[in-house]
Amino acid sequence: MTKVNTVLGTIPAEELGLVAIHEHIGYGMPGSELDSKWWKTPEQAYEETVPKLRTFHENGGGTFVDATGICNGRDIDYYKSLSRKTGVNIVACTGFVGGDTALPHFARATVDYLARVFIHEITVGIGDTGSKAGIIKVGVSRGGRMTELDKRIYRAAARAAVVTGVPVLTHLAIDPEPAIAIFREEGLPLDRVLFGHADDGLNAASTPSEMIMGEGGRIGFDTFGYETELPDPPFWARPRKDRMDHFIDLVGKGYLDQLLVSADANCSPLGWPGVKGHTVNYIFEVLIPDMRTNGIGDAQLKAIFEENPADFLAIQA
């Protein structure tokens, strides 16, 4: 039986249910926790977060994958209490959102050291929480090209993925050639990698999604809901119809099994106001109905939200 690490323990992949593959309990830039302007009491954080996760659960959501890196506000004991309160499985990650969010302690580390950190967090646990990471996060720093540090983190992640069988999830899928080369050199099959943010308004045009899927990788349409229709859209927003047309085009070309979908929302943002009006529940409130209107049927929805994520998250023994 295939297994997945959640913050409350290892469960069969068959029990994940509907999965939101790239979300955040709370995401902030490293150091935002030191800025007193943004401090929240535990009560405020719970008040912002618990209703969203309860609604997710009531809507039929089973599993919430928290793609927050080591330095961006990851808080495992808090996730455990949220999972207990709401019944939602939470998968936590090891790794970093990008080289540019790795604090100096990690930024100066060797590939070998970073790989050992990731492997420890996956196989032994994250600190003294007793929880094991279920995915490895990596990413491309701001600037559109992979930096030397990004590449070091990707290589460490690839080694950890090969040793542990846990998959890799990327922030951004631009400049994928060096990433693909590293994964190949380290012997990691590309179906163990979800190349994320292939759909956002800033990067979609320069992301070679079909090339990546042609090489065997998976593609994340994981910023659904960050759309220009919002009252105050962020710079990475995209018109709703554009994104859906792009998605439907790829489904029509036969890529359904390589596509993963999410909303990349923050339950309770850290050090920034977040994007008003956007939550993980966009998946139920807008996205699934919109997909149905565009001809996506029950079997395809099951593939997108249950089968593909279970296949991806399942630890390869």
Measured torsion, CA atoms of residues 310, 312, 314, 317, in degrees rounded to the nearest 10: 150
Q: Which stretch binds Zn ion (CB under 5 A): 39-47, 85-93, 118-126, 259-267?
A: 259-267
* Helix H or strand E encompassing 50: helix 42-58
Q: Judged by CB, which is closer to Zn ion: 134, or 159?
A: 134
For residues 67 and 114, which CB has a smaller minimum distance to Zn ion in the complex?
67
Torsion angles phi and psi, residue 64, rounded to 5: -115, 115
CB of 292 closer than 8 Å to CB of 140: no
Q: Near Zn ion by CB under 5 A, which window of 67-75, 128-136, 224-232, 295-303?
A: 67-75
Residue whose beta carbon is closest to Zn ion: 264
> What secondary structure letter does DSSP report for 285?
I
Stretch binding Zn ion (CB under 5 A), from 231-239, 263-271, 298-306, 309-317: 263-271
CA distance linking residue 81 with residue 211, whole number of Å: 41
- From the list 313, 304, 259, the residue with the least C-alpha distance to 133 is 313
Cβ–Cβ < 8 Å for 44, 33: no
**Closer residue to Zn ion in complex, CB, 186/200:** 200
53 vs 296, beta carbon nearer Zn ion: 53
Residue 66 interacts with Zn ion (CB under 5 A): yes or no? no
Q: Which is nearer to Zn ion, 223 or 296 (CB)?
A: 223
Q: Which stretch binds Zn ion (CB under 5 A): 65-73, 175-183, 237-245, 289-297?
A: 65-73
Q: Smallest gap, in angstroms, from Cβ of residue 67 to Zn ion?
A: 5
Q: Which C-beta is closer to Zn ion: that of 75 or that of 186?
A: 75
The answer to whether the CB of 79 falls within 8 A of the CB of 130 is no
Shortest Å, Cβ 169 to Zn ion: 9
Find the shortest distance in angstroms from Cβ 275 to Zn ion: 12
Alpha-helical runs (H) found in 87-130: 104-107, 111-123
Closest CA to 182 of 219, 144, 149: 149
CB neighbour list of residue 36: distance below 8 Å, 6 or more residues apart = none
Size of the site for Zn ion (CB under 5 A): 2
Q: Under rule CB under 5 A, which residues in 75-134 are in contact with Zn ion? A: none
Shortest Cβ 24–Zn ion spacing (Å): 6
State in angstroms the smallest separation of the CB of 23 from Zn ion.
Answer: 7
Q: Minimum Å distance from CB 63 to Zn ion? A: 16
Q: Quick one: DSSP state of residue 287? A: I
Among 5, 264, 270, 280, indicate the residue that binds Zn ion (CB under 5 A). Answer: 264
Structure tokens at 280: 């993980």
Question: Which residues, listed in sequence order, are joined to residue 171 by a DSSP beta bridge?
Answer: 139
**Which is closer to Zn ion, CB of 200 or CB of 264?**
264
Minimum gap (Å) between residue 116 Cβ and Zn ion: 25
How many C-beta neighbours within 10 Å does residue 39 have? 12
Of the pair 268, 296, the CB lying nearest Zn ion is at 268
Q: What is the per-residue binding string for Zn ion in 12-51, x denoting contact by CB under 5 A?
A: ----------------------------------------
Angle at which helix 76-86 crosses helix 42-58, to 10 degrees, equals 50
Residues in touch with Zn ion (CB under 5 A) = 67, 264
